[in-house]
Structure formats: C-alpha cells, structure tokens
Amino acid sequence: MSKPLILVTNDDGITSKGIASLISVVKEIGEVFVVAPDSPNSGMGHAITVDSTIHIKKSNIFGDIDAYECSGTPADCVKLAKHHLLKGRKIDLVVSGVNHGHNASISVIYSGTMAAAREASIEGISAVGFSIDDFHYDADFSHTMPFIRKVCEATIKNGLPKHRALNVNFPKKSEEPIKGMKVVRQTNGFWKEEFDAREDPHGRPYFWMGGEFINHEPESQDTDVWCMENNYVGIVPCKTDMTDYEAIETLKGWKF
C-alpha cells in the first residue's frame, strides 16, 4: 500500500529547528511534502496574501524530501500546496510546527502555526499544529518526538471530524519525563499588553509590544495551560465555525 501523503509547514520559517524535528518524525510515517515560509511569520494569524505577489522556490534543505520555500504566510503555504503544487493529489494529513513557543489559550487566535492547520481543516483535510513552551531558537524537541508520532498515526488512522484541527502543546524539556497526553480545552486567558515607547535616531516614535499572560483559571486541570505547567501534552480539538450558538436566541430578542 502507498504511504499517506503528509504536508508539512510552519510559521517560524523553513530553516527553523522545529520544522526539521517534525519532518524527522513524519518521514517515518508517510510521504512528506514541505511548503513553508521563507522567513519567520510568527503572530501572523490567518493572514493571506491578496495585494502582492507570492514567490515559491524549490529547496534542498531536507535532502531528498520535496520542499519549497514560500514568500507568503503559513495559510498561503497550505493553499499553494493544495491547489497548485499537489493539485490532483489527496493530502492525508497536514502538520504544522513544531512552533518555538506555545500556542495555548488565546494564542491560538494569533498563531500562524495554527492558521496553517485551520486552513487545511477548511479544505476538509485532517490537520495538527504542534507547539512547545520554549521560545529559544535552539529549543530541545527530543521529548516531543514520540508523542508527535502517536498523534499523527492516530489522526491518520481515525480521521478528524470535518473542519476540525488539533492544537497540540508540549511542555518545555525538563529532567522529568512527560507524564502523558490529555485531551483538554482552551484556557480562559488573555495577553495583557504593554507598549514600550521609544524614538529612532530621527526623533520619530516607535513601540515595542510586550506584556504578560493572564490566566483566569490557573487551578483548572482540564486546560491546555495546566497541562504544560504540569508536564503533560495538551491536545485541544479546534473548529473553524466561530458561531456562538448560545447567543443566537438572545440576539433574536434584540430590537435592531
């Protein structure tokens, strides 16, 4: 039987350590095809390129694995792979990451990593975004690899419900082994931004955005942030339909 076709992408760029680690796992599972941004796209969200050109270039960065670097966003990469580079072929799984930095809680909204997975899910393709709670460019991904394989194999075998994707977050590597995997929900939290105002040499103002993450439910053990903080792999199923069905009846009672 032919191997499943696995499309690999990310938002940290094709030269990142995270995507190389991901490819090293999934190439043992199926036929790998890579389309990834040619530069970092962190925090890009689900942006697509509509007012400028997109360039793609063949890359040999992963040896004999077919790979292309793309000037567009992570979502662009999935679109180009599906509708141009792999046109006519069935993609069995899209994997995105491994992202340098977690994408738990509200970060899933801003994440280019998860945008690529969501784009695949819109197309009806099973997809998984992988992230680690370590922002360092040389982060250690070794503890994630057995779990990446388990998640990918289970997703290929079982398939995801239509228009769904998995958001998988790993804790940072520590001396203690990962305790296991949990299917959980998105943490109720948000980023409280702070803006550091500065001036360039010409006296023009500019800003650096920083801040801290505020967790509204730090004791809840059924959330993705709790999993990372307690050395578990957190798996959150996500969907593209953002309709608040509970609010529909309330809004029907409004007088517009």
Q: Which residues participate in the annotated binding site for a divalent metal cation?
A: 11-12, 42, 99
- Name residue 227's amino acid: C
Where does the chain have alpha helices with state H?
A: 17-26, 74-80, 107-110, 112-122, 145-158, 224-229, 245-252
Structural tokens at position 139: 């982060």
Instruction: Name beta bridge partners: 58.
Output: 68
Q: What share of the chain is helix, strand, coil (3-state, %, to 5)?
A: 25, 30, 45
SS3 164: strand
Instruction: Name beta bridge partners: 234.
Output: 169, 182
Q: What is the dihedral of CA 82, 90, 126, 72, to 10 degrees?
A: -10
- Name residue 134's amino acid: D
Q: Which residues are annotated as a binding site?
A: 11-12, 42, 99
Task: Report the helix count and the strand count for the chain, using DSSP H and E.
Answer: 7, 11
Handedness of CA 108, 110, 116, 122 (dihedral sign): positive
Half-sphere exposure of 204 (CA within 13 A, CB side): 1
Structural tokens at position 75: 């979502």
